Amino acid sequence: MSAREDEYADRLVEHEGRLYYQRFSVVQRVQHILLFSSFFALIATGMPLLFAGSPLVRHMFFFEGAYELRGLIHRVAAVVLLAASVFHVFYVLFSVRGNSDLRRMVVWIDDIRQAFAMLSFNLGRSGEPPRFDRFNFIEKFEYYAAAWGSAIMLATGACLWFPVQATLVFPRPVLDIIRVIHGFEAILAFLAVIIWHMYNVHLNPEVFPMSRVWMNGRMELEHLAEHHPLEFERMLRHIPADMAGRVRAQMGVHFPSGPTVSGAVTT
Do 239 and 12 touch, CB atoms closer than 8 A?
Answer: yes
Query: Residue 254: which residues within 8 A CB-CB, separation 6 or more?
Result: 248, 264
12-15/18-22 β-pairing: antiparallel
Angle at which helices 26-50 and 137-161 pack, to 10 degrees?
50
Instruction: List the one residue out of 228, 254, 203, 265 whose CA is nearest residue 11.
Output: 228
Q: For 25-108, where are the alpha helices, taking DSSP H only? A: 26-50, 55-60, 66-94, 96-104
Determine the Cα–Cα distance for residues 25 and 216; give it in Å rounded to an integer: 8
Q: For 95-220, where are the alpha helices, taking DSSP H only? A: 96-104, 109-122, 137-161, 163-169, 172-191, 198, 213-216
- 3-class secondary-structure state, position 236: helix
Nearest 5°: the CA angle 233, 229, 237 is 5
Burial of 195 (0-12, 13-18, 19+ CB in 10 A): exposed
Determine the Cα–Cα distance for residues 182 and 49; give it in Å rounded to an integer: 11
Per-residue pLDDT in tens (0 to 9) along the chain, 267 residues: 566 667 787 888 999 999 999 999 999 999 999 999 999 999 999 988 888 888 888 887 778 888 889 999 999 999 999 999 999 999 999 999 999 999 999 999 999 999 999 999 999 998 899 999 999 999 999 999 999 999 999 999 999 999 999 999 989 899 999 999 999 999 999 998 888 888 888 888 888 888 889 999 999 999 999 999 999 999 999 888 888 899 999 988 655 444 444 443 333
Determine the Cα–Cα distance for residues 1 and 174; give it in Å rounded to an integer: 57
Determine the Cα–Cα distance for residues 262 and 180; give it in Å rounded to an integer: 48
Query: Residue 142: which residues within 8 A CB-CB, separation 6 or more?
Result: 196, 197, 200
pTM of the model as a whole: 0.85
Nearest 5°: the CA angle 87, 69, 155 is 40
218-220/12-15 β-pairing: unpaired
